[in-house]
């Protein structure tokens, strides 16, 4: 990509107008201003794409198999573990990592921290795509995926926690789409839409906070339906939702640091000076937020153990595993964040963010799969289930990259706003 | 079922007496009054009728063990004896006179709502047979397999997916079981 | 009365959440939400007397035919199935069977014990309360029935069920659904007949009747047969009480029954979270709008004037 871009002076596209004053067409914008053959050449040159092709070559047929022959053809069809990797990773893992949208929306629009502006759209996009693909994972996992709208319009079970999740994720997806409409409008050249969204952005942001608080918490509260099945250390009927909500704060921020790092090093041509100049400083700011969220989370985790008087469990094998998760997934990155921020070591903060993002996935998989049915047996996912999970994640990666290449996320639109 | 209204004073054989817990007081039917064998077929559907050798059972068990308090002797269970010791011989001693076939159907369940009713736990006919017969068999070493007493009918094979209705793969293995 | 209270609580939450705001409605909530549903007064039930069960599997066979379930891999009079295990676990309900009898051999007893499992038809079922499309119904007759026409296949009910009963028809892409015992509601229970398994049981190990009378019967049976039973009726209080209850001659955990289940309905554990929902819905907007006004005051003096600064 870089090579081709640097060969053509008019690219990357940052404005509706070509250097000669004529307008880029939508097709040209879609192909990044390259000719189809140039586009193909840059696609083939990238080794990441080869990896993706390999993943899809196996993954797409397996997904088709799942839709033709049922979940039993790609999973172990366990009645004891109704939720496998699709939800354990795809829903419970992706959603907290996507909390960046409402976090940065709050920081910029509600707290008035305009200095975080260069990274706000990346945060919103990270949020939107994470939620969208959590729904994609859900669509793979649901027995009757064609009935996804049923809880909204056909048969309502409003006293159920999942009802909250469904409604809030659906409305929050709409909110996030609305929040990103300005970026799309600039790129597409439809400015009325953008101005309308600007006028309601505060309302959207606050709606986003409410919905996020509730559905991040609700994902945790889902496990309060299984008080005896989840290991007591990963379970707390009073605090489960706070654990999930609180950890989503640093999960979202960490994921944003990871995404911005990848953009800085692998998509530099697409970033503008404003982004590149501020990303290190903003990373430190985000890292500080992470450290504070993590200490809060850690305290609530300890309070939960104390509240239910579960100290004895800490001495068992499960307890050591629990402490390992907290130690590697929370305490270690927390200190790295704190140290990195204090001494302005951006690299360290980025490293901490990677650990903390992985730590949150680890926590969610522990809650949903490992510590679930803890005194029954451990279900190891079928390889096809793993492969589908990776395939969907690759799809997420491609979509993410596709949008970052084009829409004014990492750069400011120079054309009409 | 067996019928009899012949009444004499109890004069039990020595063989029987050895099996008894206590000699029963009062009047009682003589075991020899009863039929020698009985075909129990009132509910046969999945299994065929039971050919019950009544005479043989009178030689090894007390009347009251099956007929409780209806044959004029006190019931075998001291628990039942709290009310039924010294009970008169009943006009009919058939199991089905007391134990309902439709034990769990709404019409019978209604009768259980009577607050005066003590026998809230009286088994239905099928339960009474199996609990009593099979329960005793298990204790004294009698046959306890289903087909030891009654052979499975075609309807039974269909119900149990066995015999001619066995799943293709499992046909061989079934024969080992009763 | 209690039933009504429950329904109104549900419909309240519907309007509260679906409308996302509606603070006026929220005020009505606490008094009614505090009540637990104790079960329908005339609900039917079954006592499973483990001291009577001989492991003949007649109930499994009867259920299979009554519910038109697929033909089993082994005949119902094949007793080698008792040795089947899955990850070290004894047989459980799945998409081909709504009920299963398992065998337990205890060193202190000279004969094996058998235990039937099926849906226990809770008074306040976890499957029902966790279902976000209302696919489950607790009928006044006591049955917990399922409507496959609205089910989305999320399987939260399977996660929620403390007895591991609902199973999923994973084998089908187009006719996937939850498979679970419905107390023979459609074909028998609502016509005043006992479920097929009860009718089939030769030993009367299954005693069918009104739940409230069965409780009397169960305690009566314990009282009148000293030494025969453990003095405990499993299901009398487990997870808020179940329509199907158990009597046993040995400690229940020795025949694979979970003695650590809470005595309250599963819903109780979820209520902590449900209670904060209206608070977040009402307090958050005011709180964050206030923070916004404070945080941006020094920039422009008004919130509206701030908007053009936010241009991206």
Instruction: Judge whether A140 is closer than 8 Å to chain C, CB to CB.
Output: no
Q: State the smallest CA–CA distance between residue C88 and chain B in angstroms.
A: 23
Which of A389-398, B60-69, C45-54, C153-162 shows the lowest mean pLDDT across its residues?
B60-69
Mean pLDDT across A31-58: 90
Residues of C in contact with A70 (CB under 8 A): 169-173, 176
pLDDT in the model for residue B32: 60
Beta bridge partners, C290, equal: none
- To test the contact with chain C by mutation, choose from B161, B175, B178 the residue with the greatest count of C C-beta atoms within 10 A, namely B161
CB contact under 8 A, A162 and C132: yes
Chain B residues within an 8 Å CB radius of C56: 146
Bridge partners, C179 (sequence order): C167
List the single best residue of C128, C174, C288 to mutate versus A (max A Cβ within 10 A): C288
**Average pLDDT over every residue of C75-104:** 94
**Distance between C226 CA and the closest CA of chain A, angstroms:** 33
Report the C-alpha gap between A267 and A403 in whole angstroms: 12
User: What's the first-to-final CA gap in chain A, in angstroms?
Assistant: 27
Most confident of A401-405, B109-113, C278-282: A401-405
C positions 262-291 inside 8 Å of A (CB): 262, 266, 269-270, 272-274, 276-277, 280-281, 284-285, 288-289, 291
Residue that wins the pLDDT comparison between A61 and B176 = A61
Q: Strand, helix or coil at B130?
A: helix
- Domain A46-406 superfamily per CATH: Formate dehydrogenase/DMSO reductase domain (1.20.1630.10)
CA distance C102 to A86: 32
Mean local confidence (pLDDT), B82-108: 87
Mean pLDDT score, A278-295:
94
- Nearest beta carbon to residue C170 from set A70, A166, A205: A70
DSSP-derived pairing of the beta strands C44-49 and C244-247? parallel
Residues in chain A with CB shorter than 8 Å from the CB of C29 are none
Question: Residue C293 to residues A105, A116, C297: CA-CA distances in angstroms?
Answer: 15, 18, 6
Contacts B–C by Cβ distance under 8 A:
98
**Residue from B45, B104, B164 whose CB has the most chain C CBs within 10 Å, to mutate:** B104
Closest to C235 (Cα-Cα) out of C135, C128, C119, C138:
C119
Q: Does A276 touch chain C (CB under 8 A)?
A: no
Residue position matching structure tokens 């606490």: C30
Looking at residue C36, its pLDDT comes to: 63
Element (H, E) at C102: strand C100-104
Is there an interface between B and A (3+ Cβ pairs < 8 A)? Answer: no
Query: Phi first, then psi: what are they for A15, rounded to 5°?
Result: -155, 160
B80 Cβ under 8 Å from any chain C Cβ: no
Question: Contacts of residue B163 in chain C, CB cutoff 8 Å?
Answer: 75
Query: Residue A311's CB: how many other CB atoms inside 10 A?
Result: 10
Interface size A-C, in CB pairs within 8 Å, comes to: 232
**Contact (CB, 8 A) for C185 and C103:** no
Give the neighbours of chain C: at least 3 Cβ pairs within 8 Å: A, B
Those residues whose C-beta lies under 8 Å from the C-beta of residue C274, and which sit 6 or more positions away, are A159, A161, A221, C13, C33
Helix, strand, coil percentages for chain B (3-state, nearest 5): 40, 5, 50
Test B146 with C78 for CB contact under 8 angstroms: no
The residues near A296 (Cβ < 8 Å, ≥ 6 apart) are A246
pLDDT for position A73: 95
Q: How many residues does chain A have?
A: 417
Answer positive or negative: Cα dihedral of A60, A65, A71, A75: negative
Q: How confident is the model at residue C305 (pLDDT cuts 50, 70, 90)?
A: very low
Distance from CA of C10 to the nearest CA of A (A): 6
Residue A174 to residue A226: CA distance in whole angstroms: 31
C 194-213: CB under 8 A from A: none
For A299, residues 6+ apart whose C-beta sits below 8 A from its C-beta are none
Residues 78-117 of C with CB under 8 A from A: 87-89, 92-94
- Taking residues C29-34, report their average pLDDT: 41
pLDDT for position B115: 83
Structure confidence at residue C97 as a pLDDT band (50, 70, 90): very high
Q: How does pLDDT run across A64-94, given as a tens digit for each residue? A: 999 999 999 999 999 999 999 999 999 999 9
User: Quick check: ipTM above 0.85?
Assistant: yes
Check A142 against C153: CB less than 8 A apart.
yes
Would you tell me how many other CB atoms lie within 10 Å of the CB of residue C102? 20
Pairing, β C100-104 against β C113-117: antiparallel
Q: Supply the CATH classification number for the domain C38-264.
A: 3.30.70.20
Q: Domain spans of chain A?
A: 46-406
Average pLDDT over chain A, rounded to whole? 91
How many residues appear in chain B?
A: 178
- pLDDT over 70 (residue C23): no
Distance, in Å, from the CA atom of B63 to the CA atom of B6, rounded to the nearest integer, reads 15
> What does the pLDDT look like over C45-73, one tens digit per residue?
999 999 999 999 999 999 999 999 999 99
Q: How far apart are CA A330 and CA A333, in angstroms?
A: 6
Cα R_g (chain A), whole angstroms: 22
**Residue boundaries of the structural domains of chain B:** 1-97, 154-178
d(CA C203, CA C49): 10
Residue ranges matching CATH 3.30.70.20 in chain C? 38-264
Cβ distance of C76 and B124 shorter than 8 Å: no
């Amino acid at each position: 990509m870089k090579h081709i871009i640097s060969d053509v002076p008019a690219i990357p596209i940052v404005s509706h107008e070509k250097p000669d004053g004529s307008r880029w067409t939508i097709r040209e914008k879609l192909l990044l201003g390259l000719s189809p053959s140039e586009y193909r050449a840059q696609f083939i040159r990238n080794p990441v794409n080869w990896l993706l092709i390999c993943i899809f070559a196996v993954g797409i047929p397996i997904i088709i198999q799942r839709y033709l022959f049922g979940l039993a053809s790609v999973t172990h069809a366990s009645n004891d573990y109704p939720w496998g990797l699709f939800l354990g990773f795809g829903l419970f893992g992706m959603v907290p990592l996507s909390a960046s949208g409402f976090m940065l929306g709050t920081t910029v629009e509600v707290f008035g921290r305009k200095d975080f502006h260069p990274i706000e759209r990346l945060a919103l996009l990270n949020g939107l795509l994470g939620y969208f693909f959590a729904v994609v994972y859900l669509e793979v996992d649901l027995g009757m995926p064609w009935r996804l709208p049923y809880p909204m319009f056909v048969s309502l079970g409003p006293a159920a926690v999942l009802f909250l999740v469904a409604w809030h994720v659906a409305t929050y997806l709409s909110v996030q789409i609305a929040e990103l409409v300005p970026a799309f409008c600039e790129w597409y050249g439809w400015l009325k839409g953008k101005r309308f969204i600007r006028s309601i952005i505060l309302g959207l942001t606050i709606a986003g906070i409410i919905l996020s608080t509730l559905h991040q918490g609700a994902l945790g509260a889902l496990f309060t339906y299984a008080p005896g099945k989840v290991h007591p250390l990963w379970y707390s009927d009073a605090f489960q939702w706070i654990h999930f909500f609180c950890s989503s704060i640093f999960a979202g921020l960490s994921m944003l640091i990871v995404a911005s790092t990848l953009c800085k090093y692998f998509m530099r041509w697409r970033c503008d000076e404003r982004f590149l100049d501020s990303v290190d400083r903003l990373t430190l700011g985000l890292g500080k937020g992470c450290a504070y969220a993590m200490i809060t989370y850690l305290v609530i985790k300890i309070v939960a153990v104390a509240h239910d008087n579960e100290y004895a469990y800490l001495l068992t094998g499960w307890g050591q595993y629990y402490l390992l998760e907290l130690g590697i997934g929370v305490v270690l990155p927390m200190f790295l964040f704190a140290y990195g921020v204090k001494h302005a070591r951006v690299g360290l903060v980025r490293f901490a963010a990677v650990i903390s993002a992985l730590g949150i996935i680890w926590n969610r998989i522990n809650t949903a799969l490992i510590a679930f049915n803890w005194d029954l047996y451990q279900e190891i996912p079928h390889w096809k289930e793993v492969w589908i999970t990776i395939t969907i994640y690759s799809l997420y990666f491609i979509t993410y990259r596709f949008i970052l290449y084009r829409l004014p996320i990492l750069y400011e639109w120079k054309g009409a706003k | 079922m067996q019928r009899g209204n012949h009444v004499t004073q109890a004069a039990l054989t020595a063989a029987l007496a050895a099996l008894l817990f206590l000699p029963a007081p009062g009047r009682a039917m003589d075991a020899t009054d009863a039929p020698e064998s009985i075909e129990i077929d009132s509910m046969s559907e999945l299994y065929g009728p039971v050919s019950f050798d009544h005479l043989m059972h009178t030689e090894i068990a007390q009347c009251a063990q099956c007929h409780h308090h209806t044959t004029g002797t006190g019931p075998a269970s001291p628990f039942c004896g709290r009310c039924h010791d010294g009970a008169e011989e009943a006009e009919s001693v058939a199991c089905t006179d007391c134990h309902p076939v439709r034990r769990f159907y709404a019409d019978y369940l209604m009768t259980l709502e009577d607050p005066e009713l003590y026998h809230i736990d009286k088994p239905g006919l099928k339960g009474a047979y199996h609990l009593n017969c099979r329960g005793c068999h298990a204790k004294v070493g009698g046959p306890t397999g289903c087909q030891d007493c009654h052979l499975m009918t075609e309807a039974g094979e269909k119900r149990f997916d066995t015999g001619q209705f066995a799943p293709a793969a499992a046909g061989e293995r079934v024969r080992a079981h009763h | 009365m209690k039933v009504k209270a429950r329904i109104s609580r549900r419909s309240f939450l519907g309007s509260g959440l679906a409308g996302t705001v509606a603070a006026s409605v929220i005020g009505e909530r606490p008094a009614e939400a505090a009540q637990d549903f104790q079960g329908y007064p005339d609900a039917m039930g079954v006592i499973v007397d483990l001291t009577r069960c001989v492991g003949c599997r007649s109930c499994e066979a009867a259920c299979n035919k009554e519910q038109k379930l697929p033909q089993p891999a082994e005949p119902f009079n094949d007793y080698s199935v008792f040795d089947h295990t899955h990850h070290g676990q004894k047989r459980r309900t799945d998409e081909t069977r709504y009920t299963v009898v398992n065998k337990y051999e205890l060193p202190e007893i000279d004969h094996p014990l058998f235990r039937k499992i099926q849906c226990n038809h809770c008074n306040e079922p976890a499957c029902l309360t966790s279902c976000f499309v209302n696919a489950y119904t607790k009928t006044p007759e006591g049955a917990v029935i399922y409507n496959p026409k609205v089910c989305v296949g999320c399987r939260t009910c399977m996660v929620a069920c403390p007895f591991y009963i609902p199973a999923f028809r994973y084998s089908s892409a187009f006719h996937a659904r939850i498979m679970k015992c419905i107390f023979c509601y459609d074909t028998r229970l609502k016509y005043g007949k006992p479920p097929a398994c009860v009718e089939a049981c030769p030993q009367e190990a299954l005693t069918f009747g009104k739940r409230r009378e069965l409780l009397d019967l169960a305690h009566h049976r314990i009282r009148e047969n000293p030494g025969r039973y453990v003095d405990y009726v499993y299901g009398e209080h487990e997870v808020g009480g179940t329509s199907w209850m158990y009597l046993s001659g040995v400690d229940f955990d020795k025949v694979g029954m979970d003695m650590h289940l809470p005595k309250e309905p599963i819903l109780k554990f979820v209520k902590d979270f449900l209670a904060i929902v209206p608070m977040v819905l009402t307090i958050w907007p005011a709180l964050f709008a206030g923070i916004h006004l404070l945080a941006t005051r020094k920039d422009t003096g008004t919130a509206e004037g701030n908007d053009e600064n936010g241009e991206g």
